[in-house]
């Protein structure tokens, strides 16, 4: 069980995050200052930055997927695609209002959209590094791009209409078998 200090820190983090998301949803990311967020969360600006190192991190802190970790942590004998299929084939909770708001805030801001692209590029590079332990550099990078595109597409479908088991099956079958015969 978390101690009082840890609970207080988590409460402060949540208060800052909720204040930021509320303000961003109301006025847009670019039209809200860090000072306004700190004031709304009833914390000092320095406190805000001790929890979130940048204004962008208030929104983007949960965006990154650990594709490299999923692939690196798979059991011996399990293929890359099978490890990803097992991870992403688990039932997903319906997308909640907060996540829908975050996606809207990101898509309405060029700054945040660029930030997401930087995160995705880093994610692909990390995945390629893991894959290079098993294959050549070109193949590793091509695999990383295809995996990242598949996962991103599944996420987008999830936001738009929800995912079905069939969506996930098709996505990973295409990764596993390519588009032969399609």
CA–CA gap between residue 40 and residue 38 (Å, rounded): 6
The pLDDT tens digits of the residues spanning 6-42 come to: 889 889 999 999 999 999 999 999 999 999 999 999 9
| Tokens read off for 94 | 């319906």
Is the model's pLDDT at 62 over the cut of 90?
no
Whether 91 and 45 map to the same domain: the answer is no
CB atoms within 10 A of CB 176: 13
Of 26, 49, 30, 48, the C-alpha closest to 39 is: 48
The pLDDT tens digits of the residues spanning 73-88 come to: 999 999 999 999 998 8
Is the model's pLDDT at 130 over the cut of 90?
yes
> What is the rounded average pLDDT of the residues 108-116?
92
pTM of the model: 0.79
Whether 68 and 44 map to the same domain: the answer is no
Please check whether residue 182 lies inside any domain of the structure: no
Domain-terminating residue out of 55, 78, 94: 55
Whether 36 and 71 map to the same domain: the answer is no
**Number of structural domains, the chain?**
2
Cβ pair 84, 175 in contact under 8 A: yes
3 state SS of 172: helix
Q: What is the pLDDT of residue 84?
A: 92
Q: In which band, very low, low, confident or very high, does the pLDDT at 110 lie, cut at 50, 70 and 90?
A: very high
DSSP 31: G
Host domain of residue 44: 4-55
Whether 11 and 67 map to the same domain: the answer is no
Whether 50 and 113 map to the same domain: the answer is no
Q: What is the pLDDT of residue 94?
A: 59
Whether 136 and 172 map to the same domain: the answer is yes
Q: In which band, very low, low, confident or very high, does the pLDDT at 167 lie, cut at 50, 70 and 90?
A: confident
CA–CA gap between residue 25 and residue 144 (Å, rounded): 33
CA–CA gap between residue 50 and residue 54 (Å, rounded): 9
Range with the largest mean pLDDT of 45-54, 96-105, 156-165: 45-54
Whether 66 and 142 map to the same domain: the answer is yes
Q: How many CA atoms lie within 13 A of 137 on its CB side?
A: 0
Average pLDDT, the chain: 88
Residue 108 burial (10 A CB sphere; 0-12, 13-18, 19+): middle
């Amino acid at each position: 069980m978390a101690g009082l200090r840890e609970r207080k820190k988590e409460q402060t983090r949540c208060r800052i995050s909720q204040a930021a998301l509320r303000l961003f949803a109301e006025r847009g990311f670019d039209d809200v200052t860090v000072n306004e967020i700190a004031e709304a969360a009833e914390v000092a600006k320095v406190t805000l930055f001790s929890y979130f190192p940048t204004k962008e991190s208030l929104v983007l802190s949960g965006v990154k997927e650990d594709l490299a970790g999923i692939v690196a942590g798979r059991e011996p004998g399990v293929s890359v695609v099978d490890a990803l299929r097992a991870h992403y084939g688990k039932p997903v909770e319906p997308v909640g209002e907060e996540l829908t708001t975050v996606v809207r805030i990101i898509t309405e801001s060029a700054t945040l959209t660029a930030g997401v692209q930087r995160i995705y590029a880093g994610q692909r590079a990390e995945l390629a590094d893991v894959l290079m332990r098993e294959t050549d550099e070109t193949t590793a990078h091509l695999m990383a791009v295809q995996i990242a595109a598949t996962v991103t597409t599944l996420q987008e479908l999830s936001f738009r209409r929800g995912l079905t088991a069939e969506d996930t099956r098709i996505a990973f079958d295409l990764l596993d078998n390519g588009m032969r015969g399609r």
